Structure 1
Amino acid sequence: MSVPRARVLMYHGVDRVSAARDPYGMFVSPAAFRRQMECLLEAGYVPVSEDDYLAAVHGARLQRKAVLVTFDDGYLGVGEHAAPVLRELGVPSVLYVPADRIGGTSDWLEERHRHRLMDAADLREVAAAGMTIGAHAADHRDLRGLADAELTVQTRQAREHLEGVVGAPVRSFAFPYGHHDERARAAVRAAGLEAGFGIWDAADELAIGRVDVNATDTLRTFRLKLRRFYPALRRATDPVPSLRRRAHDLLGRAPRETPDGRGAEVGSR
């Protein structure tokens, strides 16, 4: 097995959320998300399904400029705002869900920054609309250093729980926080999952790198993140985050929503 040569995008929420409620910049506005998906298609990128991507993990070839769109956590706004856009534009996607938090909130965050997650009916609805469901552990716990029994809960049992909810096979996994180690990756394989996704700490087909898209991205920074060299550039600036922040400032940052929800929408630059 191998890691396909395709860009993998990672979103979290799609909704109108103020910076005060979303200090980590996880929520892309609905208008910005639509423009980003339109930008993908206009630039000639070819969105692929999980089936296509996993076939490539097993040796099949993907189209040039293939891109896989993924979401982590299962926020309500993804179903309300992102799923209709994806269906309209014909863009497949994968939604990674912490199995034991279905219908709950993102309780791994500070209480004032938590947001509601889809319930079982919501997940079945977006799955019927074409969004594939993947596993995001059981309770969004960092899997590094866990005992074998707990790793089984977070991988195999999480997969089985999700399959019971959506009535379809769950074939891939996304590591909470993007964190993984050798034992965590082995547990994903032992759970019968065909691929795993991290973020920047890519390893192999069980920890494939993804590029995060967040609330501060303009179309200019979004286009930059689509470039093949971007992950290497991002890793190179890890030791000097202030340099990365200055570069982002030069490229521009999208305005954030104000607390009353009437803030400026993301610009087009």
Structure 2
Amino acid sequence: MSADPAHVPVPVAVPLAPTASLPRLRPVRPWVLMYHSVAEHTEDPYNITVSPGRLDRQLRWLRRRGLRGVGVGELLRERAAGRGAGLVGLTFDDGYADFIEEAVPLLRRHGCTATVFVLPGRLGGSNEWDPLGPRKPLLTEAGIRAAVGAGMEIGSHGLLHRDLTRTDDETLRQETEGSRALVEEITGRPARGFCYPYGTIDHRAVRAVREAGYEYGCAIDPGPLTGTHALPRVHVGEEDTALRLYAKRLLHPLRRRALPSGPTTPTTGTPLTGAGR
């Protein structure tokens, strides 16, 4: 039975002492982890589901290495102020209902927050864009507000989970600008971040996200488009044990381009005055 999103228990965060099994890592570039669903599962054809037990161990691993998970907006603000060395971005794509039931209590237990990218055009619906299933319920308006009440950042994942590189101009505007307006109406707060469905981007999509007023955008492997509106992320799944997380952390600077010191254009990577406002 689903929990009432307005009455999610909030466990007290327990500080964890660092362990000596692996060396503490000094963050060089922003490390942003990409999650989706948190639930017990036997069927997961797209590798988007992490069990609550595995998420608990992954968050514990971060804390024991002096790292704390936060929303991407906070991560970028703290880095800009020179205080982001011990922070890791946590993102949850698609806005699954199990975020409230399973993820929030674990995040609060470990003193973490996260950014949840929701689909305001599919409130209370399901992941119909995944042809192989299984079907998973999405957050309702009440669930999104419960996430806000638990201290989470809410961003947009577009309206309907469409590939922005395949849309016409009006659809692209609705998926970026229109979805932002709906998210802000639900939360009563600015929607500062956007997440590209499927991680697919091109110059046009990145420009649309910037011009819609988002302060940042999350992709997966944006390559030469890397910048404030095309942040790279690392997928985290059920198979990511402590050793695999350590390897991903170690290899991150080699696999992901460094971000410039300020916002960039989506075409050249050169500084763009006033970008993201």
Superposition TM-score, scaled by structure 2 size = 0.77
Q: CA deviation at 1:146?
A: 2.1
Distance 1:219 1:60, change over 3 A: same
Residue pair 1:137, 1:176 contacting (<8 A) in 2 also? yes
Tell me what 2:214 maps to: 193
Describe how 1:165-180 pairs up with structure 2 within 5 A.
Answer: 165-180=186-201
Query: Separation in 1 of the partners of 2:81 and 2:90?
Result: 19
Query: Separation in 1 of the partners of 2:146 and 2:161?
Result: 22
Describe how 1:66-105 pairs up with structure 2 within 5 A.
Answer: 66-105=87-126
Q: Deviations over 1:216-248 (max 9, x none)?
A: 222221222222x2364599xxxxxxxxxxxxx
Q: CA deviation at 1:63?
A: 2.7
Tell me what 1:218 maps to: 241
Instruction: Choose the corresponding residue for 1:106, options 107, 127, 130.
Output: 127
Query: Separation in 2 of the partners of 1:99 and 1:117?
Result: 10
Tell me what 1:11 maps to: 35
Q: Deviations over 1:17-57 (max 9, x none)?
A: 113xx111111000010111111000111333444323257
Letter in 2 for 1:209: P
Superposition TM-score, scaled by structure 1 size = 0.79
Q: How many residues align?
A: 228
Question: Between Structure 1 and Structure 2, which shows a larger proportion of helix residues?
Answer: 1
Q: CA deviation at 1:189?
A: 0.8
Query: Separation in 2 of the partners of 1:142 and 1:171?
Result: 20
Distance 1:200 1:103, change over 3 A: same
| Secondary structure of the corresponding residue to residue 116 of structure 1 | coil
Query: Separation in 2 of the partners of 1:42 and 1:134?
Result: 28
Residue pair 1:12, 1:73 contacting (<8 A) in 2 also? yes
Q: Deviations over 1:71-101 (max 9, x none)?
A: 0001121111111111122101100012201
Query: Separation in 2 of the partners of 1:60 and 1:212?
Result: 27
Query: Separation in 1 of the partners of 2:253 and 2:47?
Result: 19
Tell me what 1:55 maps to: 77
Q: Deviations over 1:166-208 (max 9, x none)?
A: 2211001010011111110111011100000100124211110
Describe how 1:1-269 pairs up with structure 2 within 5 A.
Answer: 5-19=29-43, 22-55=44-77, 59-110=80-131, 112-202=133-223, 203-227=226-250, 229-230=251-252, 232-233=254-255
Residue pair 1:6, 1:65 contacting (<8 A) in 2 also? no
Query: Separation in 2 of the partners of 1:139 and 1:14?
Result: 21
Segments of 5+ residues of structure 2 without an aligned counterpart are: 1-27, 258-277
Moved over 3 A (4+): 48-51, 230-235
Tell me what 2:13 maps to: none
Letter in 1 for 2:67: Y
% same residue: 37
Query: Separation in 2 of the partners of 1:232 and 1:120?
Result: 40
CA RMSD after TM alignment: 2.0
Query: Separation in 2 of the partners of 1:127 and 1:169?
Result: 12
Segments of 5+ residues of structure 1 without an aligned counterpart are: 236-269
Structure with the greater relative contact order (CA < 8 A, sep ≥ 6): 1 or 2?
Answer: 1
